[in-house]
Structure 1
Amino acid sequence: MASSSRSEPPEDASFTTMDEKDPTLIGIHCQYTYCNQLDFLPFRCESCRGTYCLDHRSETGHQCHKAGEWAAQRRRANLSTPSLGAGKMMAEVEKPCASPACKTLIGTSLSTSVHCSTCNRDYCLKHRLKEDHDCTNLVPIGARVSKFDTQADNAKNALERLRAWGTAQKASMATRVLPKPKSTSAAARVVAVNKLKKTAKGDDKIPVEKRVYLYVEAEAATTSSKFPSGAFYYSKDWVMGRVLDAAAKSLQVNNVNNQAMDEREKLRVFHVEGGRLLEFNEKVGTALVSGNRIVLLRGVGPAVPDLIDLTRN
């Protein structure tokens, strides 16, 4: 006999549980030809309306001769349900294309509308692309015009000042006499690094495997130092700002980076082999290798300008 402990069938099942509270229901024999088992909690097939036990309740279980009928009935019921927007007139959604020169009526059965999320307007198929309706020069609908214009002006000013900064940097670096990297063989570089390691000074607490050995110079044109150059080692985990502080202290160069607001008074680190100014937050192990040469310069400005600062008036 089928068990009386069972869960409710899922919503999309082809069978339903018969009401066990019916006082006339004292058990029904399964109508599957090869079963005929008495079941006190039978199931009704929603396709053929037959009654079956737990084992043969599905359409495949009793080889239903009307398989799929329940699903077809559900589809017909869903199609007969009014859809959202039913009853609305076409005139409620019809409107002209947002392009000023276009007179096409969109939102009709013949001409669909395409929404541009950038300018928040609706266009016909001909003007749906941004370049076709001059999207970049339109203020988005709903946006604050003054704020939009201010942001555009700030971006334009920042770009102009960035170009001016680049021109000034080229002119400034062209007037400086900086050391150039020497072309040497790999074997000669190994010998030079080994010699450098014997004379370089630094913090004894830095593990040997983390030391990067460098030649350090102070540019005579912009910095006054007691010692014009020296050989030092720094940890590969240090950032260039810390290297600059240590190098300035070793060469006895006046370092006012922490107090000065004017870039003309600040020191910067120039990497000879790389041919560029190094950022204060760059790691030694990433930017430099043993045997490289760095130069302390004053008044050359940041390695890269602050683009956020360029937008401020």
Structure 2
Amino acid sequence: MEFPDLGKHCSEKTCKQLDFLPVKCDACKQDFCKDHFPYAAHKCPFAFQKDVHVPVCPLCNTPIPVKKGQIPDVVVGDHIDRDCDSHPGKKKEKIFTYRCSKEGCKKKEMLQMVCAQCHGNFCIQHRHPLDHSCRHGSRPTIKAG
């Protein structure tokens, strides 16, 4: 017993295979076999409307918008040069920027510790007036013995 109306032939000109489970292309609305249903396999003229790829920056994993006619590699390259937060060539902010004002001390701290009397910036070790020999205040300080 034959079923002449069962299944459809592949719309690819070089194939025309009778397929009982054809796949309809959502862009060009034609029926294709399992081998020709991808856009590239049947050279779909409307693939650009559906097959949209958004490139992702390899350094910061941010999706990069690409306009029609732009080359994705060039757009990602521009992003890396200008906007990328993880660019290795960009100058990173220094974390330890506050250097101790005590003579001979080269320590740097993340937080600014200003002496209330002399207004100097000091590290944790020299933050107290007695530790940095503070003499600029309104009252003289004496080192504890």
Task: Give your verdict on TM over 0.5.
Answer: no
TM-score when normalising by structure 1: 0.17
Question: Which has more strand, going by share of residues?
Answer: 1
Give me the TM-score of the superposition, normalised by structure 2: 0.34
